[in-house]
């Protein structure tokens, strides 16, 4: 077993405890809903970062797998033939298969080609969803609700049980992604990102490795999709629209590259922004677009990276200056980042 695993497990359990405790302390249903959306989009952003941050593959079509998880799960549950865990496994497996086919074509391509071909395939999946009205409901989305039969005696129609189950699935997936990123496979991917030619010389099958992480990331994104489908009791073509992929990329950028859980920070920030923007204006795109331009051109890096760099610079200055008494305020400031370092 890997040395850091126990620590990761402890962090995961603490995180799970926190997530379970939050709605108990603040019992408003709105918070629970917000957090379930956070789980779903967080998984998409985290899994996309396995491609973007870890492997250097900038996919612009990741939402396709998010949507395929949601639709496959929804359709299987509506058929009434299988239980939730079986439908979930089948949805994840089916998505992995789709990703295997699409990935086999895409991962051979260089940087920017990869970006726009993944986008093209995503829009292909979107157009299938919109045109195959008989199966998917087309523009209207998958309607009629998704049944939630009890699982192991748990009644998922109870909002609290549903929330708890989603939290567990979320944390397990994050832990799995952490394991992959810290494994020898994960370090091989970092090498491919930094120097593919060298990796190739060392006998690494670069294409196979890229395909492997592409399929894994797609499977993880599909879990996000099925959480959302289970929660909203439906699936919509917007899940597969290119803007969803764009948002996922923005989440990663906001959260920054320096922390493993950075994309989750980005998800939280973007979701909060979206929440308030939709309250005050219907011109969501205009506001979001402007915010992105300001951050990319102004800060020139993600918000979380900005804070992280500021703290690092401050520490460096403090280390350079003659040691003084530790001011309590500064430890407090650094607190949100504790436990999140890579």
Partner 1 sequence: MNLEALVDCLSSASCAVTQVSTGLIVGMLLFLVTSGLSLIFGVLGIINFTHGAFYMLGAYLAFTAYALTGSFLVAMVAGAAGVGLFGVLFERLVMSRVYGRDILMQLLVCYAMILILDDGVKILYGGEYRMMGMPDVFALPPVEIAGGFVPGYYLFMVGVAFAAGLVLWLGINRTRLGKIVRALAINPQMVGALGINTTLLYAGVFGLGSLLAGLAGALAAPIRTLTPGMGVSILIESFIVTVIGGMGSIAGAFLAALLIGFTRAFGAIGFPLFVDGLMFALMALVLVVKPSGLLGREAA
- The footprint of partner 1 (CB under 8 A) covers 52, 58, 60, 105, 108-113, 115-117, 119-121, 123-124, 127-128, 131-132, 242-243, 246, 249-250, 252-253, 283-286, 288-290, 292-293, 296-297, 300
Residue 124 or residue 185: which is nearer to partner 1 going by CB?
124
Q: What span, in angstroms and rounded, lies between the C-alpha atoms of 80 and 60?
A: 34
Q: How far is the CB of 242 from partner 1 (least distance, A)?
A: 6
Residue 95 or residue 115: which is nearer to partner 1 going by CB?
115
Closest CA relative to residue 118, chosen from 177, 51, 173: 51
Residue 68 or residue 165: which is nearer to partner 1 going by CB?
68
Cα angle 307, 173, 5; round to 5: 75
65 with 94: CB under 8 angstroms? Answer: no
Residue 117 or residue 180: which is nearer to partner 1 going by CB?
117
325 with 333: CB under 8 angstroms? Answer: no
Q: How far is the CB of 249 from partner 1 (least distance, A)?
A: 6
DSSP-based three-state secondary structure for 147 = coil
Residue 135 or residue 316: which is nearer to partner 1 going by CB?
135
Q: How far is the CB of 85 from partner 1 (least distance, A)?
A: 32
Residue 206 or residue 226: which is nearer to partner 1 going by CB?
206
Q: How far is the CB of 192 from partner 1 (least distance, A)?
A: 16
Q: Which of the 8 DSSP states describes residue 4?
A: T
Q: How far is the CB of 312 from partner 1 (least distance, A)?
A: 20
* The pair of three-digit structure tokens given for residue 227, joined into one six-digit string: 């959480």
Q: How far is the CB of 61 from partner 1 (least distance, A)?
A: 10
- Residues sharing a CB contact under 8 Å with residue 293, sequence separation 6 or more, in sequence order: none
In this structure, which long-range contacts are made by residues 91-94, counting pairs with CB atoms below 8 Å and at least 24 apart in sequence? 91/222, 91/225, 91/226, 92/219, 92/222, 92/223, 92/226, 93/219, 94/68
Residue 114 or residue 163: which is nearer to partner 1 going by CB?
114
143 with 150: CB under 8 angstroms? Answer: no
Residue 188 or residue 245: which is nearer to partner 1 going by CB?
245
Strand partners, 151: 154
* The pair of three-digit structure tokens given for residue 158, joined into one six-digit string: 């109870």
DSSP-based three-state secondary structure for 236 = coil
Q: How far is the CB of 24 from partner 1 (least distance, A)?
A: 37
Q: How far is the CB of 293 from partner 1 (least distance, A)?
A: 5
The torsion angles phi and psi of 325, rounded to 5 degrees, stand at: -65, 145
């Amino acid at each position: 077993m890997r040395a850091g695993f126990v620590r990761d497990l402890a962090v995961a359990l603490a995180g799970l405890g926190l997530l379970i405790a939050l709605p108990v302390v603040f019992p408003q249903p709105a918070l629970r809903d917000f957090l379930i959306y956070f789980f779903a989009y967080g998984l998409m952003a985290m899994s996309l970062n396995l491609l973007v941050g870890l492997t250097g593959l900038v996919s612009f079509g990741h939402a396709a797998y998010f949507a395929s998880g949601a639709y496959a799960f929804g359709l299987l549950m509506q058929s009434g033939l299988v239980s939730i865990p079986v439908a979930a496994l089948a949805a994840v497996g089916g998505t992995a298969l789709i990703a295997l086919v699409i990935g086999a074509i895409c991962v051979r391509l260089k940087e920017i080609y990869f970006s726009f071909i993944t986008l093209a395939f995503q829009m292909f999946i979107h157009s299938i969803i919109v045109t195959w009205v008989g199966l998917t409901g087309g523009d209207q989305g998958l309607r009629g609700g998704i049944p939630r039969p009890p699982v192991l005696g748990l009644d998922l129609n109870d909002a609290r049980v549903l929330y708890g189950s989603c939290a567990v699935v979320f944390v397990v997936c994050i832990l799995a992604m952490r394991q992959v990123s810290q494994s020898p496979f994960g370090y091989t991917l970092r090498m491919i990102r930094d120097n593919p030619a060298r990796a190739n010389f060392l006998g690494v099958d670069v294409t196979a490795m890229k395909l492997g992480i592409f399929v894994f990331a797609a499977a993880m994104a599909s879990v996000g999709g099925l959480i959302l489908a289970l929660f909203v009791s439906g699936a919509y073509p917007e899940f597969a629209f290119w803007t969803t992929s764009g948002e996922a990329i923005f989440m990663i950028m906001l959260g920054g590259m320096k922390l493993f859980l950075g994309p989750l920070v980005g998800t939280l920030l973007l979701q909060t922004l979206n929440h308030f923007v939709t309250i005050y204006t219907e011109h969501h795109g205009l506001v979001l677009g402007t915010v992105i331009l300001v951050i990319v051109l102004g800060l020139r890096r993600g918000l979380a990276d900005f804070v992280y760099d500021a703290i690092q610079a401050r520490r460096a200055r403090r280390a350079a200056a003659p040691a003084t008494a530790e001011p309590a305020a500064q430890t407090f400031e650094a607190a949100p980042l504790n436990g999140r370092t890579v």
